[in-house]
Amino acid sequence: MSKRVAIVTGGSRGIGRESAQRLAADGLAVVVNYAGNVTEAEATVAAITDAGGEAIAFRADVADAEQAEALFDAAESTFGGVDVVVNAAGVMHLSTVADLDLDAFDRMVRTNVRGTFVIARQAARRVRDGGAVITFSSSQVGLRTETYGPYAATKAAVETLSLVLARELRGRDITVNAVAPGPTATALFLNGKDEATIDRFKAIAPLQRLGTPSDVADLVSFLAGPSRWINGQVIRTNGGAI
């Protein structure tokens, strides 16, 4: 088999970028998927290659079936196949159920639910035996914090899809797990929050801090590599918040 290869969606920033860099450090060739910010995607690739790794950037809307297929095509034509898929692409709009704009809800459903499904469909068809599929949920599915309801609903769908897919891939030695971060210091989480709000989130976990992208990337690395007996699980990486 050629070198192991990972596709990381949403790989230009935040948890996706940290996961891409961590997998490259683990020895995988990485396809860094991005939706629009080519500068950030190229910065991720540069960080990987400067450290001696292999990576390319590839633009694709994860919810577009043809673009998702092209993303997997690029991984196969450049590096020879796909062994690991990390679907970290996601969007979040916070609002009470009563006040959420339906266009914002539709955008979350399109990226978080449809996007996860479209990428999972390609992964089910094309990940090589012995590989791993890692989706992203959220600890908000369990925390149920006010204004997170619509976002958490999309992530609950991701959890169900992931656990079913794990069973559908029976016999191929492919693991499927959902990572569910708690409050994590990313631009997506920090945007629009004042210091008092951030402090309240820090206090939720017994470790009394926000998670970091590298905390989550540690788990992604484990699920993508040495862990072969964890399958069909939702793993909450949140410092004990729930």
Residues identified as active-site: 151
106 phi and psi angles, rounded to 5 deg: -60, -35
**What's 93-121 look like in SS3?**
CCCCCCCCCHHHHHHHHHHHHHHHHHHHH
Nearest alpha carbon to residue 26 among 46, 69, 55:
55
For 70, the enclosing helix (H) or strand (E) is: helix 65-79
As given in the structure block, the two tokens for residue 113 are 């639910």
Give the count of alpha carbons within 13 A of 113, CB side only.
15
Nearest alpha carbon to residue 7 among 90, 66, 91, 69:
69
As given in the structure block, the two tokens for residue 116 are 């996860």
Nearest alpha carbon to residue 85 among 128, 43, 40:
128
- The Cα–Cα gap between 179 and 187 comes to 18
As given in the structure block, the two tokens for residue 54 are 């292999």
Helix, strand, coil percentages in the chain from 3-state DSSP, rounded to 5: 45, 15, 35
DSSP state of 132: E
